[in-house]
Amino acid sequence: MLIDQEKCNGCGICVPYCPVGAISVSGKKASIDLDICAECGTCGRRYIVKCPTGAIYDDPNLFETERGISKYFSDPMTTHKVTKIPGRGTEEVKTNDVTGRVKRGEIGVALEMGRPCLGTTLAEVQKVTTALARIGIVWEHMSPLSHIMDDPANGTFPARRLGLRMISCIIEFTAPAERLEAILTEVRRVAKELDTVFSLDLITRYDPDGRIPVREDVEKLGFTVRPNAKINLGLGRPLSEV
Ligand code: SF4
Ligand code: SF4
């Protein structure tokens, strides 16, 4: 987003709405620090931020620049150009009732890096993707992250993109259930190197008798299992049965 310096009166109304503190007022003019802005679009939503002069506007050339990538990860009102999925470009492996990505005998993993008020950068994401690539993880194709890697086998991104900021980036993949220990061990190791927060989602299908197949294994590894964390109903789209 950008602020028209001719129109801005420096009232400061927009400042507290930015989730990462990228807007500041100086000399009676507001400006956006583009090194901090994650392109979430919040400040430009006129039904939320009542800018009295209409000074905040979308960069018309955003998607011709690298910054357009940030918008796909930060703005839920955007539809991803490759996956064609609105709302940050992924249906997310954690909504398995809808996507049906995780089959029996598999686990799905979603690492949700960065949250509002903190966010993350692609450099932080790369710490995780390179670590997981070393143990042979293959990335979810219908995820915006897969489309900006330059070397998926090594989990790397082009160097020019590493500074890009995003509100939240979801690293998604599925793997055979027997890889559980290797994956969680690597996640725990790399977590100590991260300069952001993340949530770890583990997705598995219930056994017919209601048991959660990998629960005991996860607990043996020292993780607290919270099976009530998020259960999405299929909303009439039972693709998991396909
Ligand atoms: S709300 Fe509008 S006029 Fe007020 S500081 Fe922000 S951009 Fe400027
Ligand atoms: S687009 Fe989002 S991150 Fe960027 S300045 Fe506006 S509110 Fe802040």
Does the C-beta of 167 come closer than 6 Å to ligand 2? no
- Nearest CA to 156 out of 184, 182, 126 is that of 126
Q: What is the pLDDT of residue 229?
A: 60
Q: What's the CA gap between 234 and 151, in Å, rounded?
A: 34
Determine contact, residues 73/90, Cβ cutoff 8 Å.
no
Does the C-beta of 38 come closer than 6 Å to ligand 2? yes
First to last CA, the chain: 41
Output the residue whose Cα is nearest ligand 2's atom 6.
Answer: 43
pLDDT at 242 over 60: no
- Nearest CA to 212 out of 107, 91, 98, 94 is that of 107
Average pLDDT for 215-237: 74
Q: What is the pLDDT of residue 97?
A: 74
- Pick the ligand that lies closest to the CA of residue 73: 2
pTM of the model: 0.87
The structural domains of the chain, ordered by start, are 1-60 (3.30.70.20), 79-241 (3.30.70.260)
Residues 130-140 have pLDDT tens digits of 999 999 999 98
**93-102, 185-194, 227-236: which range is least confident on average?**
227-236
Output the residue whose Cα is nearest ligand 2's atom 2.
Answer: 40
Q: What is the pLDDT of residue 225?
A: 85
Question: Ligand 1 pocket: which of 37, 51, 57, 58 to mutate (most atoms <8 Å of CB)?
Answer: 51
**75-79, 195-199, 215-219, 227-231: which range is least confident on average?**
227-231
Question: Ligand 1 pocket: which of 2, 4, 13, 46 to mutate (most atoms <8 Å of CB)?
Answer: 13
pLDDT at 149 over 50: yes
Atom index in ligand 2 nearest the CA of residue 42 equals 7
Residues 40-60 have pLDDT tens digits of 999 999 999 999 999 999 999
116 C-alpha vs ligand 1 centroid, how far in Å? 21
Helix (H) or strand (E) segment spanning residue 216: helix 215-220
Average pLDDT for 3-7: 98
Does the C-beta of 18 come closer than 6 Å to ligand 2? yes
Q: What is the pLDDT of residue 231?
A: 58
What percentage of the chain carries pLDDT values higher than 70? Answer: 92
Residues 11-29 have pLDDT tens digits of 999 999 999 999 999 999 9
